[in-house]
Amino acid sequence: MRDERRAGFVLVLVIAAIALVGVLLFVLTEGSKTVLFQADAAYLQAVERNLVASGLAWARQRAEAESPGELGAAVELDVTNMNIRDAGLQVTVRVPQGEEPEAEVATSCTRGSRTIRHTDTYQIQISDTDPDSPAN
């Protein structure tokens, strides 16, 4: 009879340990989901900043090279060389009457089930100096 009680006690301890491990795994899983969500958000924000910077660099180069009459159409830029999966970049360069050129940059990037789409307009500063000429 004593051995049966001891075996029953050990069985209860094993079941309690399994339940405790299950609760700990649940807590750790929820914590890792939060960390993964924050990592994805940080990645998407960094990708968005890179896309906007690339779009503005392209828009500035185009605004300096072209006459105002040739600007205004939306251009979908190829971002495959940036190694960003599921990303898109569309830039529209406009020159309002009597103002500095402006660029409308529309970005889209996806990671997992999250997608960030952002559109904003930026002023483009055109430099008056020639980059090929030596500085004074």
Go through 73-100 and write b for each residue having 16 or more CB atoms within 10 A of its CB, e for each that does not: eeeeeebeeeebeebbbbbbbbbeeeee
Evaluate if residue 11 carries a pLDDT over 80.
yes
Which of 99, 103, 96 lies closest to 120, judged by CA?
A: 103
The pLDDT score that the predictor gives to residue 134 is 52
Length of the chain in residues, anyone? 136
Q: 82-98: per-residue pLDDT in tens?
A: 888 889 999 998 887 77
The pLDDT score that the predictor gives to residue 136 is 44
The pLDDT score that the predictor gives to residue 2 is 61
Evaluate if residue 116 carries a pLDDT over 60.
yes
Q: For residue 125, what is the DSSP state?
A: P
Evaluate if residue 4 carries a pLDDT over 50.
yes
The pLDDT score that the predictor gives to residue 32 is 87
| % of the chain at pLDDT higher than 70 | 83
Evaluate if residue 66 carries a pLDDT over 70.
no
Q: For residue 69, what is the DSSP state?
A: G
- Map out the domains of the chain as residue ranges: 2-123
Task: Work out the average pLDDT over 55-83.
Answer: 81
Provide Rg for the chain, Cα atoms: 29
